[in-house]
């Protein structure tokens, strides 16, 4: 494949650092390297607390479950979600007993169409910054001033809001370090929050709900409350095993050193892509200066044009995929909500959209070559 969706971003230096670490320790589970990576990530992002977990998906579930418990959100409370997002932005909503409310997307952000926001009692707005694009956070906060705002930034590391600061601070945000993302720990994710109480609860829930995962002050307080129980195995809440490993953290620390450069290259590639794309043939979301491009999305004018483009790209050995999962409401696991809302933009994205990978391994010459072939064969 000449142009795959993702490339191997793990360098020989990364591998050697991991080998050196393995030879230097007998501690492989969640330990000092995990804590070091969490601190480094918080410093890079500019948030108070970060928690390293096994994936971006477990990060989403952990965040929702802890927010529901900490803020005493009743079962059945409504959570706003976009019709085009990843499956584990929606599944955790009903898995923790809440009710998803779907909203159509717009083509500027691939996020909530603010003209279609419902006038309902929304407890949580679960934002997805899809494919490195800025969701309309400020407009959503104006519409729902009493809601809690959670942000999935799993595909958008380094995304900046209108004020120039990185997205991801506040009540809660999630990131993914899957193999094909801006940086990788092979598998892994991060939950971030400026709320110290939420952070403590998520630490508990990440590891079975065990008290020994708390900060020393909170740990001492809780073990005094239950003197008849072994403090090493004191379970304070329902929890899971969402831990990652020291191996993944070592990779994360090495990858983080190169993240800013990766983002810079992705931004340059995306700006060239949208500046030179034939707008008579395709539509693509604009560059707003804060984008942190995950890919190059195309919206064709028709299904037939999409098939024509797919054929050209396939002949060039350029790998493609749908825009995430297209209209998520068409998938069987959401049958219950299929007819609750009309989502014509998500439908069009499903029928006419696709994307090509963007990364630090892509360059302007590659993009230029693809554009030339498309123009010659269209």
Q: Report, in angstroms and rounded to the nearest whole number, the Rg of the chain calculated over CA atoms.
A: 22
51: helix, strand or coil:
strand
Q: Sort 343 into a burial class: Cβ within 10 Å, 0-12 / 13-18 / 19+.
A: buried
d(CA 30, CA 25): 13
- Counting Cα atoms < 13 Å in the Cβ hemisphere of 65 gives 24
Cβ contact 152:128 at 8 Å: yes
* Residue 304 Cα distances to 92, 242, 285, angstroms: 36, 44, 21
Tell me which residue has tokens 């009903």. 94
The residues annotated with a catalytic role in the active site are 181
Which segments within the chain are labelled E, that is strand? 49-53, 78-82, 99-103, 122-128, 148-152, 172-176, 189-193, 282-283, 295-300, 320-321, 353-357
Answer for the pair 86, 103: CB distance below 8 angstroms, yes or no: no
Report how many helices (DSSP H) and strands (DSSP E) the chain contains, helices first: 12, 11
């Amino acid at each position: 494949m000449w142009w795959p969706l993702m490339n191997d971003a793990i360098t020989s230096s990364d591998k050697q650092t991991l080998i050196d670490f393995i030879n230097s320790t007998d501690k492989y589970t969640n330990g000092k390297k995990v804590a070091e990576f969490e601190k480094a990530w918080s410093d890079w992002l500019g948030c108070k607390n970060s928690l390293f977990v096994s994936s971006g998906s477990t990060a989403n579930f952990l965040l929702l479950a802890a927010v529901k418990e900490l803020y005493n959100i009743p079962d059945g409370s409504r959570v706003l979600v976009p019709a085009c997002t990843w499956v584990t932005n929606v599944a955790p909503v009903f898995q923790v007993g809440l009710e998803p409310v779907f909203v159509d997307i717009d083509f500027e952000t691939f996020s909530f169409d603010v003209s279609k926001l419902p006038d309902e009692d929304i407890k949580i707005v679960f934002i997805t910054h899809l494919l490195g694009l800025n969701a309309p956070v400020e407009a959503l906060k104006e519409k729902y001033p009493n809601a809690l705002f959670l942000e999935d930034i799993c595909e958008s590391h380094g995304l900046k809001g209108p004020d120039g600061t990185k997205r991801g601070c506040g009540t809660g945000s999630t990131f993914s370090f899957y193999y094909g993302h801006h940086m990788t720990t092979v598998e892994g994710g991060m939950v971030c929050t400026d709320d110290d109480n939420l952070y403590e609860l998520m630490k508990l829930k990440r590891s079975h709900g065990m008290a020994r995962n708390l900060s020393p002050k909170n740990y001492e307080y809780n073990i005094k409350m239950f003197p008849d129980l072994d403090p090493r195995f004191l379970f304070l809440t329902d929890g899971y095993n969402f831990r990652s490993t020291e191996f993944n953290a070592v990779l994360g620390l090495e990858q983080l050193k190169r993240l800013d450069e990766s983002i810079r290259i992705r931004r340059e590639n995306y700006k060239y892509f949208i500046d030179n794309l034939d707008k008579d043939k395709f539509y693509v979301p604009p560059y707003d200066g804060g984008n942190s491009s995950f890919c190059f999305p195309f919206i064709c004018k028709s299904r037939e044009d999409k098939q024509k483009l797919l054929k050209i790209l396939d002949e060039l050995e350029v790998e493609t995929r749908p825009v995430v999962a297209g209209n998520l409401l068409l998938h069987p696991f959401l049958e219950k909500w299929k007819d609750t809302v009309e989502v014509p933009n998500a439908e069009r994205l499903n029928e006419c959209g696709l994307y090509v990978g963007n990364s630090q391994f892509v360059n302007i010459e590659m993009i230029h070559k693809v554009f030339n072939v498309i123009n010659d064969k269209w």
